[in-house]
């Protein structure tokens, strides 16, 4: 899919794992967290060579199909998130460090809650081949390799495509450092976008069903696919 982080959201909903979180009711409202659906994540795009991360949180009434909650206050490690009516989420750019603890304070008219999560011990993910903005001949396999700094026991995903309905997402074991894109998927001219991501999904069982939070680190490159000479 390659559009923002939606492919990670889809993977997260399908592969929710055990939970590292602690949910603490606060002093407001009736503190009934099971009436609130929470979806959120922290993403570090190492391709932009930054230690910052994008954090986003979506709140809904009762379920993933419920009405958006737009009047909450959400604070992540003292940074107040801004609500985007366009995206339907609270979001901001925050500092990121491997194994860092994040306290996500959620204040609503139904109650106040804190979700505490720990970032994975992964410092950086970098695609090592192909080279960004290089040229490769169409009709041949494309080998993708990457390096991960820090310990990683989380899931991996390779996504690639030309930005249309034929984009592909592939899940790999945490130990993988190589993937070969089949020639039949890169058999036409154009700009091929390749993403490699490692992600950790946390279920939030004290909230409405399917509530989750995930961490992801990713890198992406663009390769020009040209006719063979």
| Cα three-residue angle 149-91-66, rounded to 5 degrees | 115
Report yes or no on 50 lying in a domain: yes
Nearest to residue 104, comparing CAs of 83, 69, 74?
A: 74
Q: How far apart are CA 147 and CA 128, in angstroms?
A: 7
pLDDT at 70: 94
| Domain count along the chain | 2
pTM here is 0.74
Both 210 and 171 in a single domain? no
pLDDT at 184: 93
Going residue by residue through the chain, which has 229 residues, state the pLDDT in tens, using 9 for 90 and above: 344 444 444 433 333 333 333 343 333 334 567 889 999 999 887 654 556 888 999 999 999 999 999 999 999 998 999 999 888 999 999 888 888 899 999 999 888 989 988 888 887 889 999 999 999 999 899 999 999 887 766 789 999 999 887 899 999 998 999 999 999 999 999 999 999 998 888 888 888 999 999 888 889 999 999 998 7
Both 55 and 148 in a single domain? no
pLDDT at 16: 36
Determine the structural domain holding residue 153 and report its residue range: 122-196+221-226
Beta strands per DSSP E along 46-150: 52-61, 73-76, 79-80, 82-84, 89-95, 101-108, 111-118, 122-129, 135-137, 142-150
pLDDT at 205: 85
Both 192 and 81 in a single domain? no
Both 80 and 127 in a single domain? no
């Amino acid at each position: 899919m390659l559009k923002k982080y939606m492919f990670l959201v889809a993977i997260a909903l399908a592969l929710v794992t055990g939970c590292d979180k602690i949910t603490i009711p606060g002093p407001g409202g009736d503190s009934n967290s099971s009436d609130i659906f929470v979806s959120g994540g922290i993403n570090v795009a190492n391709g932009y060579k930054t230690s910052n991360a994008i954090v986003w949180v979506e709140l809904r009434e009762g379920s993933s199909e419920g009405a958006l909650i737009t009047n909450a206050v959400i604070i992540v490690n003292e940074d107040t998130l801004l609500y985007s009516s366009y995206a339907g989420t609270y979001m901001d750019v925050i500092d990121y460090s491997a194994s860092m603890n994040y306290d996500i304070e959620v204040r609503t008219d139904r109650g106040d809650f804190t979700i505490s999560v720990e970032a994975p011990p992964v410092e950086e993910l970098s695609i090592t081949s192909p080279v960004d903005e290089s040229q490769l001949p169409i009709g041949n396999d494309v080998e993708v390799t990457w390096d991960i700094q820090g310990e990683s026991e989380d899931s991996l995903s390779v996504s690639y495509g030309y930005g249309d309905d034929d984009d592909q997402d592939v899940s790999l074991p945490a130990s993988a450092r190589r993937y070969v894109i089949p020639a039949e998927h890169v058999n036409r001219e154009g700009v091929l976008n390749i993403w490699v991501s490692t992600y950790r999904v946390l279920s939030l069982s004290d909230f409405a069903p399917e509530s989750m939070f995930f961490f992801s680190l990713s890198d992406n490159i663009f390769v020009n696919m040209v006719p063979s000479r």
